[in-house]
Amino acid sequence: MLNLKGPQGRWNFFMIAGILGLYGLIQLLAAAKILLSYHLQILSLACINIILVVSLNLIMGFTGQFSLGHAGFLAIGAYLSASLTVFYQLPFWLALIASGLAAAFVGVLIGLPALRLRGDYLAIATLGFGEIIRVIILNISAVGGPRGFTGIPRHTTFGLTYFLMIAAVVIIKNFIYSAHGRACISIREDETAAGSLGINTTYYKVVAFAIGAMFAGVAGALFSHYMQFISPTTGQIGFMRSVDILIMLVLGGLGNLTGSVVVAVFLTFLPEFLRGFAEYRMLIYPVLLLLMMLFRPEGLMGKTELSYSYLENIFSKFKRKGLRPDGTN
């Protein structure tokens, strides 16, 4: 469980303190009217994007299953939760859980047949899945069809997205560093070899899809109850949204959680600071991707994760340098 002893424990303690401190600081600034609701909205969207990118990272970055349909799970969560709160007056937390479970369930349904496919074929199948979800929504008039779903109550707060984002990152991180996570990574590295070691590759691919889809569904519910409006024609849930998430993932580095978080925050803020970025982003992204492939093919963070052992490494290098001022080793 949570370890608070020793150097690793101190690190855990600082992380928790940092997470709570950041939250306190943002709430304080909001109370002092320095951060306006507009700022809080961007911060919330950043948290939602982190959930989306980190969950796609589990599927694509760690398990190696190319998915172009992540926004499909987001759409399921967004619309299902909105329907539950608007038509059935269900409490939001229940709608939130239902969204996660429904998305996970669809993830398994999609996963079982789709995971017989590999590489490009899987990409095409998941792309198709995302578009099918969008077209279905387009044709259900009860949820607004092409006009979109309006009048969704605003239940999402910054605090809720923030802590659910933390939960998503922590849960996925712990999963990846467990024996299960190693099994997922081994599938990405060499599926045949993984199978010959007794790893049930189908099972782990489905599990990765289910967990990834579940968090995307939760992100969807948060999203629709923040924006109070969701539509299948504005790029909120379609193919372009999947590509948006994918690009954040690739820029941050496949298989790197720190990179996912940093890039998701950065690319959520950028359009707000850079007027016109939203319209031109499909021109800017390819350039960014090209530059990335040229200069940092392993993604923003490469192989480094922000963690205790990473800091310890840097620190011990400093210490060694300190002991030998002449620079020898």
- Give the binding site for other proteins (CB under 8 A): 179, 182-183, 185-186, 189-190, 192-201, 255, 303
| Shorter beta-carbon distance to other proteins: residue 252 or 255 | 255
| Shorter beta-carbon distance to other proteins: residue 183 or 206 | 183
Q: Nearest distance from residue 111's CB to other proteins, in Å?
A: 17
| Shorter beta-carbon distance to other proteins: residue 193 or 293 | 193
Q: Alpha helix (H) ranges present in 197-256?
A: 201-227, 239-252
| Shorter beta-carbon distance to other proteins: residue 112 or 193 | 193
Query: Do residues 215 and 47 touch, judged by C-beta distance below 8 A?
Result: no
| Shorter beta-carbon distance to other proteins: residue 116 or 303 | 303
| Shorter beta-carbon distance to other proteins: residue 118 or 147 | 118
- Torsion sign (Cα): 276, 280, 285, 287: negative
Q: Nearest distance from residue 184's CB to other proteins, in Å?
A: 11
Q: How many helices (H) and strands (E) does the chain have?
A: 13, 0
CA atoms within 13 A on the CB side of 42: 15
Q: Nearest distance from residue 192's CB to other proteins, in Å?
A: 7
Q: Nearest distance from residue 203's CB to other proteins, in Å?
A: 8
CA trace torsion 137, 138, 142, 144 (10° rounding):
120
The partner residues of 149 in beta bridges, in order of sequence, read 230
Q: Nearest distance from residue 59's CB to other proteins, in Å?
A: 17
Three-state SS for 231? coil
Q: Which residues of 208-235 are buried (b: 16+ CB within 10 A; e: fewer)?
A: bbbbbbbbbbbbbbbbbbbbeebbbeee
Query: Do residues 211 and 172 touch, judged by C-beta distance below 8 A?
Result: yes
Tell me which residue of 329, 318, 266 sits closest to 292, measured CA to CA: 266
Q: Nearest distance from residue 189's CB to other proteins, in Å?
A: 4
Q: Nearest distance from residue 64's CB to other proteins, in Å?
A: 11
| Shorter beta-carbon distance to other proteins: residue 32 or 179 | 179
Residue 145 is classified by DSSP as G
